[in-house]
């Protein structure tokens, strides 16, 4: 199936990305802090309340109506009797508020109850927003955190016992983050069955997370993950999904008007399936007085007819009649063009939010229905602060309750093979002024995954549409989107994408973004260097269990690689500032960190000279403050190793720059030429003869291309293992691949001074591009200055065309006689503990 292509418009899939353990901000919240927990009666409420109180929080609990509150010990416990906004405003009184925990983890919610609860979350955000903004303005963090219990993957695995619809709360959270960026906003999903202590500990880690730009985080026993756009479709189900054909009858909500009608025309032009369109509007022929009239002429005639009855014509009254006439015209025109394709098309007038009416309307057709296209939706755009309960209920009622009524009416009689929902990027990304619409569409996304899990042989797809170039998009909106670089979806292109979703190839698409992969709202401004000093804790337990640590052992003791320590500084700086680190100056290894696996407690530093007092699981505490360097956007970072007893000492430090304006150095054709003219010798022996101590995951030096005291040129290739799920990576920095650059310096020292050594300082590192994973690149050791106890040199990484990728200048390599004999094969046994 072909359709007109459009620049920047395509199909993207919802995927899952594994996340590292969060780095936590020490003292993120005020010393005297208050949390409000909206209790939905789920089993998660009690451990979360207990964890907050144990962490020094004053905790106020408000139970939702219908007697569903959990029995908890808190500083204050109140219950709502109704779901009304007025009572919520009375119970949630104005006062200090640093954290709102919106529980949305209850199981077994039906359509109406889920919509009511989701609507209530919007009202909670509205009611608590002023207090949270005040707390943020006073200093410290203020947060709104929703908690779900679906499947440990934010509902994207499809299993679990929690309500998939309640996952729609994520749309509220993402919109809140856009409308009030000063508030930390996140949805946290926990897999069913996780034990209470683990849930509590991970929740505290989330609310203190240094990263503020992640909206959805999910946990299970194996770790932490988030939802991201992906160019690749998820793994295909084994069960085949049939294509649509003339034997199919699709129930379509909202299909007689707007873009849904355009989509249906493209579909039945290719495959003339039967269509049963549901809509609220009555369809009738034009009254005689309206024939031939349009626009202002039609409105003028309507005003005159109203005045003739003795009533005063008002703009609202005129508009109501105008919409009735023009709506009926649009429906009749759409029905005519759909029937012109040869498809069988019927229109039934029914309000899909009326369950009984829907059941009656569908009864004559139910046995023949094979699919549902849910295109109905209404908008009531306002900021969260201005939302009304009636508007929210209308938006959610159409999208959620309306769909539920249709599916319930077909349950038990129809054999549904095709379920396609019109969702929106307003839900996938959040959108300013559309919190309720975002909630409704996110609920459809999570529901689609759940239904696909339950109906693997059916086509179940939620299409998150971008803004279409038609319909309600005015010239002003077009200009606004153009200024943000957001492409609009041409009608023919969008309709073609929709029709293509019914082919066999697209049978297993579940949640897709159709259009540009950009939010409709302007993203918050990039972060900046910390305006004040910041303390951040990073666990070392995540990397202690990694094979790369076992492969970086000296004398049997696991030493944190200097490039992993540098990676911790880079990763933390990028998380804090929202900008990639492009330069590091003055990086030093003071004492380093040893993860001692032999249980002896003797310990060893990076230079094998530690006296080894305290051991424990360990962490790094990073002190960050705006840099004193002249480079803009620089951050001074000092990392201290801290053991379980709280004892610490400086381990690493440096100044990290985030200025992207630094120019790329000139290409190095001389090095490429030297590599081509060289007699390459295999370098595998370097990992056996005591030159290098590194184990298999770090053995990437493959060949010696040139070797004299002025230049050592090496060919390197290694796959990037991304230890600790990328917690030690930066935008350009890889701790695994960068280690090869330092290994090259060790090779020079062994070859020309015959001594064992370790790197201790990098005067300056500059990043221009990523080092290639599992592809050969060149490493050059140059500008060698020998001293009595080691050397300094520069190390350059470049691709095979001579393009400079990264440069380390002033690399200080220190020789140590105690290291001789310790550069043996790495051992991979023993539980790691940190020696500080």
**Residues annotated catalytic, as ranges:** 552, 739
Q: How many CB atoms lie within 10 A of CB 555?
A: 16
Burial 320-351 (b: 16+ CB within 10 A, else e): ebbeebbbbbbbeebbeebeebebebebbebb
671 three-class SS: helix
* 371: Cβ contacts below 8 Å, ≥ 6 apart: 244, 248, 249, 250, 251, 416, 417, 418, 419, 420, 459
Q: What angle do CA 56, 59, 63 make, to 5 degrees?
A: 160
Closest CA to 353 of 304, 311, 409, 298: 409
Entry field: residues in the chain: 836
Distance (Å) of CA 669 to CA 91, 149, 741, 802: 72, 57, 19, 5
158 three-class SS: coil
Burial 595-615 (b: 16+ CB within 10 A, else e): bbbbeeeebbbbbbebebebb
Closest CA to 699 of 689, 714, 712, 684: 684
Distance (Å) of CA 705 to CA 84, 100, 678, 780, 805: 76, 61, 5, 10, 19
> Do the strands 701-708 and 553-554 form a parallel or antiparallel pair, or are they unpaired?
unpaired
Closest CA to 608 of 556, 547, 540, 550: 556
End-to-end CA distance of the chain: 64
d(CA 704, CA 695): 19
Burial 437-473 (b: 16+ CB within 10 A, else e): bbbbbbbbbbbbbbbbbeeeebbbbbbbbbbbbeeee
Count helices and strands in the chain by DSSP H and E runs: 20, 34
d(CA 296, CA 408): 43
Distance (Å) of CA 696 to CA 549, 551, 562, 583, 683: 11, 7, 18, 29, 14
d(CA 758, CA 607): 7
HEC sequence for 762-793: EEEEEECCCCCCCCCEEEEEEEEEEECCEEEE
Question: Which residues are paired to 777 by β-bridges?
Answer: 716
Give the residue ranges of DSSP H helices in 221-367: 258-270, 295-308, 315-339, 355-362
Q: What are phi and psi of 184, to 5 degrees?
A: -70, 120
441 three-class SS: helix
Question: Which residues are paired to 514 by β-bridges?
Answer: 11, 465
Question: Chain centroid to CA 252: how far?
Answer: 32
């Amino acid at each position: 199936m072909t359709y007109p292509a459009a620049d920047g418009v395509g199909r993207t899939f919802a995927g899952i990305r594994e996340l590292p353990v969060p780095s936590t901000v020490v003292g993120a919240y005020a010393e005297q802090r208050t949390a409000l927990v909206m209790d939905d009666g789920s089993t998660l409420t009690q451990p979360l309340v207990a964890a907050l109180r144990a962490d020094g929080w004053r905790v106020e609990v408000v139970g939702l109506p219908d007697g569903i509150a959990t029995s908890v010990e808190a500083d204050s416990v109140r219950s709502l009797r109704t779901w009304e906004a007025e009572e919520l405003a009375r119970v949630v009184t104005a006062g200090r508020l640093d954290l709102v925990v919106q529980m949305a983890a209850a199981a077994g919610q039906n359509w109406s109850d889920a919509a009511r609860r989701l609507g209530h979350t919007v009202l909670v955000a509205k009611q608590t927003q002023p207090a949270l903004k005040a707390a943020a303005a006073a200093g410290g963090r203020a947060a709104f955190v929703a908690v779900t219990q679906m499947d440990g993957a934010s509902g994207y695995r499809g299993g679990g016992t929690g309500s998939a619809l309640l996952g729609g709360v994520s749309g509220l959270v993402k919109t809140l983050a856009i409308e009030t960026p000063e508030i930390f906003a996140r949805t946290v999903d926990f897999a069913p069955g996780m034990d209470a202590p683990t849930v509590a500990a991970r929740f505290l880690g989330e609310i203190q997370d240094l990263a503020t730009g992640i909206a959805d985080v999910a946990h299970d026993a194996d770790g932490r993950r988030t939802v991201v756009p992906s160019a690749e479709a998820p793994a295909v189900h084994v069960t085949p999904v049939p294509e649509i054909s003339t034997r199919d009858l699709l129930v379509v909500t909202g299909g007689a008007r707007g873009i849904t009608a355009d989509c249906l025309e493209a579909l039945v032009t290719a495959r003339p399936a039967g269509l049963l369109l549901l809509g609220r509007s009555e369809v009738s022929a034009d009254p005689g007085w309206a024939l031939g009239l349009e626009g202002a002429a039609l409105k003028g005639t309507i005003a005159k007819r109203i005045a003739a009855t003795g009533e005063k014509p008002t703009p609202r009254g005129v508009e109501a009649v105008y919409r009735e006439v023009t709506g009926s015209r649009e429906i009749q025109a759409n029905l005519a063009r759909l029937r012109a394709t040869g498809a069988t098309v019927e229109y039934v007038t029914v309000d899909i939010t009326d369950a009984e009416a829907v059941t009656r309307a569908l009864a004559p057709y139910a046995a023949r229905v094979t699919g549902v296209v849910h295109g109905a939706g209404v908008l009531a755009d306002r900021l969260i602060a201005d939302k009304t309960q009636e508007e929210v209920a209308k938006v959610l009622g159409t999208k959620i309750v309306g769909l539920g009524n249709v599916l319930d009416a077909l349950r038990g009689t129809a054999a549904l093979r095709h379920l396609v929902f019109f969702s929106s990027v307003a839900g996938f990304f959040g959108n300013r002024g559309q919190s309720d619409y975002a909630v409704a569409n996110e609920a459809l996304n999570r529901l689609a995954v759940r239904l696909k899990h339950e109906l693997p042989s059916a086509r179940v797809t939620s299409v998150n549409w971008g803004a279409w170039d038609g319909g309600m998009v005015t010239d002003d909106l077009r200009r606004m989107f153009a200024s943000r670089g957001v492409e609009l979806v041409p009608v023919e292109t969008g309709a073609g994408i929709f029709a293509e979703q019914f082919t066999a190839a697209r049978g297993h698409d579940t949640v897709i973004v159709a259009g540009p992969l950009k939010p409709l709202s302007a993203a918050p401004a990039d972060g900046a260097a910390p305006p004040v000093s910041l303390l951040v804790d990073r666990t070392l337990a995540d990397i202690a269990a990694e094979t790369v640590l076992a492969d970086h052992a000296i004398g049997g003791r696991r030493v944190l690689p200097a490039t992993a320590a540098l990676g911790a500084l880079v990763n933390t700086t990028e998380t804090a500032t929202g900008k990639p680190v492009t330069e590091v100056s003055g990086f030093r290894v003071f004492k380093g960190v040893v993860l001692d696996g032999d249980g002896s407690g003797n310990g060893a530093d990076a230079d094998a000279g530690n006296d080894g007092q305290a051991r424990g699981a360990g962490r790094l505490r990073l002190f960050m403050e705006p840099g004193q360097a002249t480079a803009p956007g620089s951050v001074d970072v000092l990392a201290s190793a801290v053991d379980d007893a709280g004892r610490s000492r400086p381990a690493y430090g440096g100044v990290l720059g985030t200025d992207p304006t630094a120019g790329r150095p000139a290409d190095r054709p001389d090095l490429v030429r030297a590599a081509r003219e060289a007699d390459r010798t295999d370098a595998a022996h370097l990992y056996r003869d005591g030159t290098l101590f590194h184990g298999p995951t770090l053995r990437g030096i493959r060949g010696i291309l040139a070797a004299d005291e002025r230049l050592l040129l090496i060919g390197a290739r290694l796959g990037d293992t991304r230890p600790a799920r990328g917690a030690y990576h930066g935008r350009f920095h890889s701790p695994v691949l960068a280690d090869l650059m330092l290994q090259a310096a060790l090779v020079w020292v062994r070859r020309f001074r015959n001594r064992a050594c370790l790197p201790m300082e990098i005067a300056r590192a500059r990043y221009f591009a990523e080092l290639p994973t599992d592809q050969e690149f060149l490493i050059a050791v140059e500008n060698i200055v020998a001293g009595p106890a080691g050397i300094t040199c520069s190390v350059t990484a470049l691709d095979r065309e001579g393009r400079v990728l990264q440069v380390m200048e002033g690399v200080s390599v220190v020789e140590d006689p105690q290291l001789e004999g310790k550069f043996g094969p790495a051992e991979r046994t023993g539980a790691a503990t940190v020696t500080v």
